[in-house]
Amino acid sequence: MSSLFSLLLSIFFAISYASTAPLPLLALLTLKSSLHDPLLTLHNWTYASIENYSSPTLDPPWCYWPGITCDSITGEVTSLDLSNRNLSGTIAPELHLLSRTLTHLNISRNNFTGTLPSVIFDLHNLVSLDIGHNNFNSTFPSTISNLKLLNTLNAYSNSFTGPIPNTIFNLTILQYLNFGGNFFNGSIPSETGRLPQLRYLYLAGNLLGGNLPDQLGELSLLEHLEIGYNNFYGGIPVSFGQLTKLQYLDISSANLSAPLSPELGKLKRLESLFLFKNQFIGTIPVEFSNLKALKVLDLSDNKLNGSIPDHLVQLVNLTLINLMSNHLSGSIPVGFGDLPNLEVLNLWNNSLTGKLPQHLGLKQRLERLDVSTNFLTGPIPPNLCSRNRLVRLILFSNRFTSAMPNNLRNCSTLWRIRVENNRLTGPIPTGFGSLPNLTYMDLSQNLISGPIPSDLFVSISLEYLNVTGNPLGCLLPELIWKAPRLEVLSASYCKLEGVIPNFESGCRNIYKIEIDGNRLIGNIPIDISQCNKLLSIKLDKNRLTGEIPQGIASLPSITELNLSWNSLTGLIPFQFSNCTTLESFDVSYNRLAGPVPWSGPMLKNMQPWVLSGNPGLCGEAVDKPCPSNNEGGNIVAKGSAGAAIMWVAAVAVAVAGIVVLALGTRFAQQKAEMKEGGAEPWHMMTFQKLSFSAEDVAKCVVGAEGIIGVGSTGTVYRAKLPSSDVIAVKKLWQPKKQEDCVAKREVKVTDGQRIMAEVEVLGSIRHRNIVRLLGWCSNSDTTMLLYEYMPNGSLEELLHGGGEKKGAKVVIDWETRYKIAVGVAQGLSYLHHDCRPVVVHRDLKPSNILLDADMEARVADFGVAKIINGADQYMSVIAGSCGYIAPEYAYTLQVDERSDIYSYGVVLLEILTGRRSVEAEYGEGNSIVDWVRSRVLRAADGRAWEVLDPTAGARCKEVRKEMTLMLRVALLCTSKSPDDRPSMRDVLLMLQEAKPNRKQADGCKGSQEGSPVVDC
């Protein structure tokens, strides 16, 4: 209130004393009054602050206001910087009162919208104008030509449309022009060549097309040119060879074709050349070897063929060479091993042959080497990490021979090793377990022999070890389960011998064990039951004996178990009947006997072959009756007494059966008569005034016509009532039908409990992002929950297709996705921070996020929600859906807000990538979290965005930037440690950073295939 009073007072004085007040003061106070300043960054701009101003020898007091710069001699306002203040509103016309002295105006990084204010073009003495990072969304005014003295113009990241105005080329002293990140269309005007002083030209991330104009080559002073992420055609003009002062050239992802222009070899000052993700054909011009200043060369994701020119080794300043995903052949120039500054060499996905340069890394600061998926042969260079900087060594799918270099075991920076699918020999060198950063090591499908070094299993960092398909011919180390961070151990078909070591106190993070296809003997260790994170166990095709440990069936998250082709004996543990997480089960070809457990949901649906080869098994699963308990034992004595007892018992049972049948028939008749006569009333509870009855609702949920969805607890109908109201009705199943991979353990949640959970939570909540429960009604047969109807279905249908319209999935722009993400976050934040007591949803996923007519998100389905009173609580059930359950929740059953935050992070990843939470491509036991993290970690600099859905606008640079910010939030939310996850309030604050400050355009919605990504 005081700030508003101050503002009004300032305006009053400014108007009252207009005849005597200085013009700069009037201009600035009027400007302030026209702006919306929610952060009060201009609160010092007041008339009161100049009341003590009297001496003409002092600088005017407004020169000390934030954002104002005055001439040190005259005291005139020369610069106005209002950047990054979250301002909106209009720019007052009175700003022209500063036109005589103002030379610099910066209103960037605010929230201005609409047309660019015309008063700006009255500021004839402007030298620098920065309006970037706003949302101006008109065509660019032609009156820009009024600013004859302008040498810097930055309009980056707005929503300007239409063609680039020709009048801009009348600014003959312009040196810096940035029109990137807008929606300009048409072609680049040929008049661009009329800017003789231009040094920086940025037009990337627009909707520009056509051929690149030859006249760009006339910009003789140009040092920096970025025009990629557009949709040009043709090639690079020969005239570009005239840009002799050019240092930076980026025309990536621009749909260019034709051969590369040899004229580019004339750019002697060029330091960075980015031409990736086009359709260039032909060979790499030999003339490129003349680019003596070149540091970065990226020609990846094109259709280049031929060999890599040997003359490129003359470019001694090169730090990065990206030539991956082309059709290159021939050998790698030997001289690459002598480039003194080389840090990154990416040549994957070509058809290269021959050897890697053996000097590679010896005199270099090599950090990343990826030559995977080629036909390279020979030994791995021995000195790749001589400078101790190598981080990633990716050599898979080649034909390398010889042993692993011993020097690598001293490479403390090494983080990831992938050398699978080669012909490497010799032993695994001892010492890799001492590397402090090594997390991923894949040596599979080689010819490596000898023992697995024990030091690998005391590594403090190793998470993934794969030695599958090597003829190791050794025992499993006793310490194999001790690595504190090991998650995956794969050692299949390695000719391993001996017994499986006891787990003891190890295996606390292991979730996948694959040691199938070996020669292991002995029992499966009983203490495997303490490996609480295990999801997958593959011990098949060994020589194991003894019984199946009962504890395997009690593992809280086990989904895959393969024990086939062993010599196991005894029973299949009955505990498998209660194992609801199991999805794949195979015990075929053992020596198992006895009844097969048949009550578990997985066991009921298993294929018969998973039990074959065990002739001693019996029961319904194998279509073989089990012998009675007394068969083979003492026979009950035969005699008149025994016979009499049997006859009496038989008669008693028969009489009882007749009585029960008669009573049951009569009860059913009475019940039917009550229904026909309407004697069975509905009970209805509402949470607001409704204009319809339970009977009206019941008539709408008969048959399949109105069904719009099926959930884990019932069928959802669209009900149009006699009052013309349209609502959604969830008709609950009786008895309960379980679907959707809802995992539960030890005790079952009854229908009544889930109904009351939903009613208890939703009945008292009113929030714009929580679906509204209107009421519920029931009789002895049916229970129905009544909700407001969401015409746009669920986020699941929107992202992945299906739903009521049964069509293909819709292309959803970035702004809509962002709006949905924020809506869900606001709903969860309310549940976690504003409800007393706190409410934890526990089953957040896209199918439980509904969308109203305005695409506003509503969190729904609180059937397994939990009200938390006080500290952390522990549940006797795992409630949630596969792919969304926080990792710690599956084995600790601890209930708190952080499990919801993990699920929300998974939903964000689906929104960002357009993928489902679980897909076959991710690999066994992996989810979208693992898939995204692996690709983000292996992405080259600035390429992590390739996991983003191109149909959302990820091809547009500014949209990509915003999506990447949200990606960071998603990765934080899905942190493995609950303590590392932000609160939902923090999530909302972080999402503000990713807020779209521009309007989407059709050109940013189109699908664009990403470059091939190698899983490294």
Mean pLDDT of the region 309-316: 94
Read off the pLDDT of residues 827-875 as tens digits, 9 standing for 90 and up: 998 888 877 677 888 889 998 899 988 888 999 876 545 554 444 444 3
Angle at 932 between CA 927 and CA 935, to 5 degrees: 130
Query: Which single residue is written with the structure tokens 């094109």?
Result: 302
Q: Confidence class of residue 708 from pLDDT cuts 50, 70 and 90?
A: confident
- Tokens linked to 969: 């939030």
Other beta carbons within 10 Å of 1006: 12
Quick check: do 560-622 and 686-1004 share a fold?
no
Angle at 890 between CA 884 and CA 895, to 5 degrees: 85
Q: Specify whether 843 is catalytic.
A: yes
CATH class of 686-1004: mainly alpha
Q: Are 719 and 690 in contact (CB under 8 A)?
A: no
Closest CA to 450 of 474, 468, 421: 474
108 vs 946, residue with greater confidence = 108
Beta bridge partners of 184: 162
DSSP 563-626: --SS--EEPPPGGGGG--S--EEE--SSEEEEEPP--SHHHHT--GGGGTT-TEEEBGGGTBPP
Our CA dihedral for 506, 510, 514, 515, rounded to 10 degrees, sits at -10
SS3 71: coil
According to the model, what pLDDT value does residue 1002 have?
40
Q: Confidence class of residue 10 from pLDDT cuts 50, 70 and 90?
A: very low
Strand order through the sheet with 714-720: 683-686, 773-778, 783-788, 726-732, 714-720, 707-710
Q: Confidence class of residue 51 from pLDDT cuts 50, 70 and 90?
A: low
Given the residues 442, 843, 861, 896, the one annotated as active site: 843
> In this structure, which amino acid lies at residue 928?
I
What is the C-alpha to C-alpha distance for residues 783 and 779, in angstroms, rounded to an integer?
7
Among the residue ranges 673-687, 809-823, 861-875, the one predicted with the least confidence is: 861-875
What is the C-alpha to C-alpha distance for residues 906 and 903, in angstroms, rounded to an integer?
5
Does an H or E element contain 250, and which? strand 248-250
Our CA dihedral for 890, 893, 898, 902, rounded to 10 degrees, sits at 20
- Domain 560-622 sits in CATH at 3.80.10.10
**691 Cβ contact partners less than 8 Å away, ≥ 6 residues apart:** 721, 723, 725
pLDDT at 640 > cutoff 60: no
Query: Which single residue is written with the structure tokens 């050897």?
Result: 355
Closest CA to 821 of 672, 586, 990, 664: 990
Q: Are 920 and 929 in contact (CB under 8 A)?
A: no
What is the C-alpha to C-alpha distance for residues 344 and 852, in angstroms, rounded to an integer?
49
Among the residue ranges 70-74, 548-552, 751-755, the one predicted with the least confidence is: 751-755
What is the C-alpha to C-alpha distance for residues 984 and 1000, in angstroms, rounded to an integer?
27
Rounded to 5 degrees, φ, ψ at 911 are -65, -40
SS3 983: coil
Mean pLDDT of the region 369-384: 95
Read off the pLDDT of residues 789-800 as tens digits, 9 standing for 90 and up: 888 888 988 888
According to the model, what pLDDT value does residue 802 have?
55
Read off the pLDDT of residues 387-402 as tens digits, 9 standing for 90 and up: 999 999 999 999 999 8
Closest CA to 494 of 514, 464, 518, 521: 518
pLDDT at 28 > cutoff 60: yes
According to the model, what pLDDT value does residue 730 have?
85
According to the model, what pLDDT value does residue 839 have?
84
Closest CA to 845 of 859, 829, 826, 833: 859
Mean pLDDT of the region 975-996: 83
What is the C-alpha to C-alpha distance for residues 938 and 1012, in angstroms, rounded to an integer?
13
**339 Cβ contact partners less than 8 Å away, ≥ 6 residues apart:** 313, 315, 316, 318, 364
pLDDT at 644 > cutoff 50: no
Read off the pLDDT of residues 314-354 as tens digits, 9 standing for 90 and up: 999 999 999 999 999 999 999 999 999 999 999 999 999 99
What is the C-alpha to C-alpha distance for residues 148 and 209, in angstroms, rounded to an integer?
29
Q: Are 588 and 611 in contact (CB under 8 A)?
A: yes
Half-sphere exposure of 805 (CA within 13 A, CB side): 13
Rounded to 5 degrees, φ, ψ at 195 are -110, 80
Half-sphere exposure of 813 (CA within 13 A, CB side): 14
> In this structure, which amino acid lies at residue 465?
L
What is the C-alpha to C-alpha distance for residues 983 and 833, in angstroms, rounded to an integer?
9
pLDDT at 919 > cutoff 80: yes
Read off the pLDDT of residues 441-476 as tens digits, 9 standing for 90 and up: 999 999 999 999 999 989 999 989 999 999 999 999
Other beta carbons within 10 Å of 722: 11
By the 10 Å C-beta count (0-12 exposed, 13-18 middle, 19+ buried), 669 is classed as exposed
Q: What percent of the chain has pLDDT over 70?
A: 80
Read off the pLDDT of residues 511-541 as tens digits, 9 standing for 90 and up: 889 999 999 999 999 999 889 888 889 999 9
Q: Are 158 and 138 in contact (CB under 8 A)?
A: no
SS3 55: coil
According to the model, what pLDDT value does residue 669 have?
45
Query: Which single residue is written with the structure tokens 């015409």?
Result: 791
What is the C-alpha to C-alpha distance for residues 856 and 817, in angstroms, rounded to an integer?
10
Rounded to 5 degrees, φ, ψ at 835 are -90, 140
pLDDT at 151 > cutoff 50: yes
Written in H, E and C, the secondary structure of 959-1015 is HHHHHHHHHHHHHHHCCCCHHHCCCHHHHHHHHHHCCCCCCCCHHHCCCCCCCCCCC
- Tokens linked to 167: 């009048």
Q: Is the peptide bond before 837 cis (omega within 30 degrees of 0)?
A: yes
Q: What is the value of pTM for the model shown?
A: 0.65
What is the C-alpha to C-alpha distance for residues 276 and 323, in angstroms, rounded to an integer?
9
524 vs 980, residue with greater confidence = 524
Closest CA to 90 of 36, 141, 43, 153: 36
- Tokens linked to 930: 């693992």
According to the model, what pLDDT value does residue 676 have?
42
Q: Is 731 annotated as a binding residue?
A: yes
What is the C-alpha to C-alpha distance for residues 106 and 154, in angstroms, rounded to an integer?
9
411 vs 757, residue with greater confidence = 411
Give Cα separations from 599 to 205, 536, 578, 607, 747 (angstroms). Answer: 59, 22, 8, 15, 15
Domain ranges for the chain, please list them.
Answer: 560-622, 686-1004
What is the C-alpha to C-alpha distance for residues 183 and 159, in angstroms, rounded to an integer?
6
According to the model, what pLDDT value does residue 408 have?
94
Does an H or E element contain 910, and which? helix 897-913
What is the C-alpha to C-alpha distance for residues 443 and 420, in angstroms, rounded to an integer?
5
According to the model, what pLDDT value does residue 1007 have?
36
What is the C-alpha to C-alpha distance for residues 619 and 596, in angstroms, rounded to an integer?
6
Rounded to 5 degrees, φ, ψ at 970 are -60, -40
Q: Are 976 and 945 in contact (CB under 8 A)?
A: no
pLDDT at 17 > cutoff 50: no
According to the model, what pLDDT value does residue 887 have?
82
Tell me what the pLDDT averaged over the chain comes to. Answer: 82
According to the model, what pLDDT value does residue 11 have?
46
